[in-house]
Amino acid sequence: MSPTPSPSPRSDLDRICVESSAAFPYHGLLLFVGQILLVLLIPILDREPRTMPVAYTVMGLATTLALMAVLGYRRVAAGFAILGSSAIVWAASHELATPEARLPVMLILAVAYSVSVYIGVYHALFAPLLPAQRILSGAASFVMIGFLFAILHGFLGAFQFGKYILPGDIEGSRLPRWTDFIWLSFSTLTTAGFGDMVPVGPWPCAVATLEGLCGILYPATLIARIASLPAGGSTQR
């Protein structure tokens, strides 16, 4: 039995989703694989003690922009590519990897990921897609949310809007590194709560609380959305 065709698009975003799905039938898989690739690159590119390596920043931004382009948002991706390239050149021109030198890159990466999260969540919850693509888009956007919150935690820690404390028995109570913020973000998002890093202060605690809520509510909403779809693969809203 052939899959039920997607309904007619009802908005510009729906039209882009339908066109990208037709051009790249497995775009949900591309979204998911791209984010998993970033996770696997962490131990390979972890060469700096505290700040995110430029190579990892380039890979993160490139992956996000490539996915935007694949999904049909080429102008948005081109704009971020120009801004991101300029910010990366600015950061690389400084010998010391200070928070001030990395600030433009962090801001552009955060905004780019925010846009990617919005696109991924829209594809997962509202776009006229087949169930398999909806599930993969939802899984990819969940990972993107984890990276976005990791950037936010890193920003708060770098500019001292609060503190992030490691237990004394972790590597001699060293200062937090960029990988610690990624670990904190995903352990909070998945509600695993290993307690390897403790956010201290109103801003870090507020961001951690919001992330924990996203980790609970978004998967529940996605499952409810998939369960509410008509049987037989129809994607009508």
Domain boundaries of the chain, sorted by first residue: 12-228
Residue 168 is predicted with a pLDDT of 67
Per-residue pLDDT tens over the stretch 13-60:
666 666 666 666 677 787 888 889 999 998 888 876 677 888 888 888
| DSSP H helices in 74-159 | 74-92, 99-125, 131-158
Cα 180 from Cα 170, distance rounded (Å) = 11
Please tell me the class of the 12-228 domain: mainly alpha
- As a whole number, the mean pLDDT across the chain is 81
pLDDT higher than threshold 80 for residue 180:
yes
Q: What are the counts of helices (DSSP H) followed by strands (DSSP E) for the chain?
A: 8, 2
% of the chain with per-residue pLDDT over 90: 25
Residue 187 is predicted with a pLDDT of 93
Instruction: Report the SS3 class of residue 164.
Output: strand
